[in-house]
């Protein structure tokens, strides 16, 4: 969790702009993120990571199924040409 909080990007500005209040008034809402906002960002980041992992797992599963089907089709083609009985892949 510390990595998530410390990993928040912070923009860099020139020191003159950061410490000069020429006509600008800085209030607490513009200078930092509240604890609730940081918590929401961390939770959202965790949720996005988990959902992304699930999608990647599903894609891997689909690709494996596709490879199996290609192998079965190739085996069926080879067996049909030899005059043997076709393989029933549904058993």
- Encode pLDDT of 1-29 as tens digits: 656 656 655 555 555 555 555 655 555 55
Provide, rounded to the nearest whole percent, the portion of the chain with pLDDT above 70: 52
Residue 43 banded pLDDT, cuts 50, 70, 90: confident
Q: Tell me, what's the pLDDT at 86? A: 57
- DSSP result, the chain: -HHHHHTS------HHHHH--SS----HHHHS--HHHHHHHHHHHHHHHHHHHHHHHHHHHHHHHHHHHHHHHHHHHHHHTTTPPPP-TT-
């Amino acid at each position: 969790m510390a990595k998530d909080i410390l990993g928040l990007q912070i923009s860099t500005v020139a020191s003159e702009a950061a410490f000069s209040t020429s006509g600008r008034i800085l209030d607490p809402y513009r200078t930092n993120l509240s604890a609730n906002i940081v918590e929401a960002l961390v939770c959202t980041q965790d949720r996005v990571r988990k959902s992304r992992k699930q999608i990647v797992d599903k894609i891997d599963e689909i690709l494996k199924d596709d490879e199996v089907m290609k192998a079965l089709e190739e085996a069926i083609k080879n067996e049909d040409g030899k005059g043997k009985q076709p393989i029933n892949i549904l058993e």
